[in-house]
Amino acid sequence: MVLPKFHTFPVLLPLSWIYSGVMGIRNWMFDKGYLRVTSFENRVAVIGVGNICAGGAGKTPHIEYLIRLLQGEGIGPIAVLSRGYRRETKGFLLATPGITSSKLGDESFQLFRKFPDIIIAVDEDRVHGINRLLKLPEPPKVILLDDCFQHRYVKPGLNICLTSYRRIVYHDHVLPAGLLREDESGMDRTDIVIVTKCPKSLRDEEENDLHARMPITKGQPIFYSAYRYTSLYSLVTNQPVEVDPRREVLIVSGVADPAVMVDYVERHYRLLDHLSFGDHHRFSYQDLREMQKRLDNVNHDGYCTNNSGEKPIIITTEKDAARLLDMKSINPELKERIYYLPTEVFFLGDHAKSFNQKILDYVRKDRTNG
C-alpha cells in the first residue's frame, strides 16, 4: 500500500521530543485528575469532533455531515460550539443575522450561513460555553464540539478523532518536525476514528492495512470517508451556478490542505494557476490586487484563450469565501468572478450505515435524570 507523501522535518525531532514530553505531562495530569474534566453527559449529548494533526483533516465537513444526519432524524435543537479560531472577539458569542466571519471565526461563520436554523456559538472556554447554551430558553439536545480533541476540560460523551489519508497519523511526527499536536498514542482516547480524504476506490486490503497500523488499543471502530463536490456557488448570490468547463480558473486557497479541491478543479476546468496562502489566512487589499493581476495576465485584454470569450474566474474554498465576504474593499467586478466549491463528506462502502447508527444510538440515550 502506497500512501501519499508529505513533508516532515527530522532535523527538528529533538524539539518534537520536548513538545511531546510537555503534552504527555499535560495528558497525564488530566488522566489523574490534577486538571479538572467536566462531563455534561447526564444533561445533554455532547459529540466531540477533532483531530490529532494540526489542520487539514476536514473537521468542518464532518460537522456538517452530523448536522444533516441529526436534522434528517428530526433531532434537535442542535448546537455547534467552537473556540472561534482567529476571531476578533472574545468570550461567549452566539451567531445572529449580520454577524461576520471576523467576529465569529471562519468555520463557525461557514456553518451559520449554511445552517441558519441551528445554534452556532463560540467560546474559548468550552465548559463556560456549554453552560451558557444550556441556559438558553430552548437549550440544545445535542452539542457538537468543533476541534476539541486536545481541549480536555470538557469530556464529550462521544469522541471522534479524524486523521487524513493524505497525512496518516502513524507516518507523521509531533510538532515541529511534523504536524501532530501530541504523540500518536493520544488517539487511544477516542471512541471513533475516521480516516478522511480517502480515494473513492479504497480497496478492502488497504482498509485492513490502515486498520492494523492505527495507534489504538481498545477496539475503537474505524470508518473511511471521502470528499465530493456538486455545483460551484457564486460569492455574490450564495447560489449554485453552472460554469462552462472551458472556463479558465485561478484557484485561491487559505486552508491547510487544498490538494483534493485542486485535483477536482484540474479535472473539471482549465486550471491557470494556484494562489496559495497559509491556513486561516486573512485576505488583504494587496492579496486582492494579486488576484486581479493573475486574472488579467491571462492575455493582454484579460480574456481567456479559449473560444468562449469569457473572462477567467477564481474558484476558492467555502472557508475562504467566508473571509472574502468580510472585505468591504473588494472590487464588484472581481467579486462577480469569484466562486466557491462546497465540500460534502460521504462514507465509503457500507460505513455510513454503521457510523450513523452509532451516532443515533448515542444521541437517543435516556438523559431524563439529568
Q: Quick one: cell of 164?
A: 487524513
CA distance 16 to 42: 39
Per mean pLDDT, which range of 34-48, 141-155, 323-337 is the poorest?
Answer: 323-337
Residue 312 in any domain: the answer is: yes
Pairing of the two strands 45-51 and 158-164: parallel
Q: Residues 210, 272: one domain? A: no
Res. 98: pLDDT tops 80: yes
Which pLDDT tens digit goes with each residue over 18-33? 999 999 999 999 999 9
Res. 48: pLDDT tops 60: yes
Residue 368 in any domain: the answer is: no
Q: Residues 143, 32: one domain? A: yes
Q: Residues 98, 134: one domain? A: yes
Query: How far from the centroid of its chain's Cα atoms is residue 163's Cα?
Result: 12
Res. 47: pLDDT tops 60: yes
Q: Residues 285, 218: one domain? A: no
Q: Residues 115, 223: one domain? A: yes
Per mean pLDDT, which range of 89-93, 120-124, 155-159, 240-244 is the poorest?
Answer: 240-244
CA distance 253 to 107: 15
CA distance 309 to 307: 5
Q: Quick one: cell of 209?
A: 492495512
Assign 306 a pLDDT band (cuts: 50, 70, 90). low
Residue-level pLDDT at 134: 97
Assign 174 a pLDDT band (cuts: 50, 70, 90). very high
The arithmetic mean of pLDDT across residues 100-105, rounded, is: 89
Residue 370 in any domain: the answer is: no
Residue-level pLDDT at 1: 65
Helix, strand, coil fractions of the chain, as percent rounded to 5: 35, 20, 45
CATH code of the domain in which 222 resides: 3.40.50.300
Q: Residues 145, 189: one domain? A: yes
Q: Residues 245, 167: one domain? A: no
Q: Residues 151, 174: one domain? A: yes
Residue 168 in any domain: the answer is: yes
CA distance 105 to 224: 28
For the chain, the domain total comes to 2
Instruction: Please state, rounded to an integer, the average pLDDT across all residues of the chain.
Output: 90
Assign 282 a pLDDT band (cuts: 50, 70, 90). confident
CA distance 312 to 250: 7
Q: Residues 172, 57: one domain? A: yes
Per mean pLDDT, which range of 93-102, 135-144, 285-294 is the poorest?
Answer: 285-294
Assign 303 a pLDDT band (cuts: 50, 70, 90). very low
Residue 175 in any domain: the answer is: yes
Domain boundaries, position 211 = 10-228+346-363
Residue 76 in any domain: the answer is: yes
Q: Residues 39, 180: one domain? A: yes
Residue 4 in any domain: the answer is: no
Residue-level pLDDT at 270: 87
Nearest Cα residue to 44 out of 148, 139, 149: 139
Q: Residues 194, 236: one domain? A: no
Residue 165 in any domain: the answer is: yes
Q: Residues 69, 173: one domain? A: yes
DSSP string, 194-245: EEES--TT--HHHHHHHHHHSS--S---EEEEEEE---EEETTT-SEE---T
Residue-level pLDDT at 211: 92
